[in-house]
Amino acid sequence: MPDTPNIYAAAVVYSAQTADKAALSFFAAQMCQQGYSVGGIIQDIIYDDRGVKIGADAVALDNGDRFPIVRPSKEDIAAGSCGLNQSVLTESSVVLRRAIAAKVDLLVVEKFGEREQLGEGLADDIMAAMSEGIPVLVAVPATAIEKWKKFMGGLGDMLPSEPKSLRNWWQKRQVSQQ
């Protein structure tokens, strides 16, 4: 039988009350500073010149490429839609495939959004990374914990969105590799 890679994945759970919304991107930056290769996508909220939120970009951790995944129109806002551009989200998956091909030390995905909860969006790329044995951290909204558990089939860890929890998870993963 071929060796099955260990699954090192964790949901980084956040809610509207989460104090540190940048914990995952901060941790990814720390890992890079420590010499680890980190790939994946974080989200950057975009504001207009008056400070009003106008959308979000997916930002590639390896080269800074930006993908304007959310730009709601007036119609989207009136309908209560977030304005997710699914084709741009799909286009951003190249970042994850590039990280998997490079066999990065850590893959970061912000976030397990509505498309991923339906098994679409970046879901296949998240699974592909795990099947390659690449440790994966995924930002998961607290409202989607049950969908995450179903998606993962009971595998992986659940972490609060706190730098200390992310460091402890990484250290645990490092010890288990030795």
State the CATH number of the domain containing residue 164.
Answer: 3.40.50
Q: Is residue 17 part of a domain?
A: yes
Residue 173: its pLDDT value, please?
Answer: 80
Residue 53 placed within a domain: no
- Would you state the structure tokens that stand for residue 115, as one six-digit string? 């498309």
Residue 60 lies in a domain: no
Asked whether residue 144 is domain-assigned, the answer is: yes
pTM for the full predicted model: 0.89
Rounded Cα distance, 76 and 93, in Å:
24
- For 123, the enclosing helix (H) or strand (E) is helix 123-131
133: three-class secondary structure by DSSP: coil
pLDDT at 123: 95
Owning domain of residue 163: 9-44+90-177
* Confidence (pLDDT) at 81: 61
**Inside any domain, residue 14:** yes
The pLDDT of residue 166 is 95
- For each successive 10 residues of the chain (178 residues), what is the average pLDDT? 70 86 91 96 92 90 94 65 82 96 96 92 95 95 95 92 94 70
Question: Domain count of the chain?
Answer: 1
Q: What is the pLDDT of residue 1?
A: 44
Domain assignment of residue 163, yes or no: yes
Tokens encoding 68: 């304007």
* Position 134 in a domain: yes
Would you say residue 59 lies in a domain?
no
Q: What is residue 50's predicted lDDT score, i.e. its pLDDT?
A: 92
Q: Which residue has the tokens 């590639």?
A: 60
